[in-house]
A = this chain, B = another copy of it.
Amino acid sequence: MEEKEISRAVIKRLPRYYRYLGELLESGTERISSGELSERMQVTASQIRQDLNNFGGFGQQGYGYNVKHLHTEIGKILGLDQDYNMIIIGAGNLGQALANYVKFEKNGFLVKGLFDVNPKLKGVAVRGIVIRMTDELPAFLQEHDIQIAALTLPKQYAKEMADFLVDHGIRAIWNFAHTDLHLPEDVIIENVHLSESLMQLSYNISRYSREHK
């Protein structure tokens, strides 16, 4: 039942392949070789072929890869051939920004609910999605089939909320709270830590100025 384990490094690269293939598709390119794609993407052709061969042979010797076919296949690998229902917990600026981000919908991530504890936000609509109070969550989760919860709330509430969501059947969490969630291992967590990203930037800025002093 268990498939061959694919390394995290490979999976992190797949969305980027998918993006480049999507752009090639839009530009009407029919086929592409690993060599040409490697030049565009600034990675080695060898890596592209290795990565793709984790999932089977999508190419053809002497020809390369059919752009449309490869795009579709990588989409399937990434699970983009189906829709996901998502809720957002924390309707602050970031939560509302995510709810407004139409691009996710295009990829099949449908925002079904937006929750907060602040009574002032109750009933406010963001792109047609009404903000509900978190105490309505149990009933909401019973009525709707939700696969993903995005956590855009202050870190001090994140752990408790994550536990609550997992208890109520959520199995995938997109975590924007600046804390590590410790959840059962069958729960999938994807972290987006913006401040850590910013610190990598400042590291490089200050390293650069140290080196050029």
A residues contacting B by CB (< 8 A) are 1-3, 11-12, 14-16, 18-19, 77-80, 82, 84, 92-94, 96-98, 100-101, 103-104, 107-109, 147-148, 171-172, 174, 178, 186, 188, 190, 192-208, 210-213
Copies in the complex: 2
A98 to B93, CA, bound (A): 8
Chain B residue at smallest Cβ distance from A5: B207
A97 to B176, CA, bound (A): 13
Known contacts A104-B195, A192-B192, A193-B15; is-contact A201 B172 (Cβ 8 Å): yes
Most buried by B among A14, A77, A79, A82: A79
Whether B194 and A208, one on each chain, are in contact in the complex, defined by CB atoms closer than 8 angstroms, is: no
Known contacts A93-B100, A199-B78, A199-B80; is-contact A205 B188 (Cβ 8 Å): yes
| B residues less than 8 Å from A147 (CB atoms) | 205
Whether B202 and A78, one on each chain, are in contact in the complex, defined by CB atoms closer than 8 angstroms, is: yes
Tell me, rounded to whole Å, the shortest Cβ–Cβ distance linking A3 to chain B.
6
Tell me, rounded to whole Å, the shortest Cβ–Cβ distance linking A171 to chain B.
7
Known contacts A78-B202, A101-B94, A172-B205; is-contact A192 B197 (Cβ 8 Å): yes
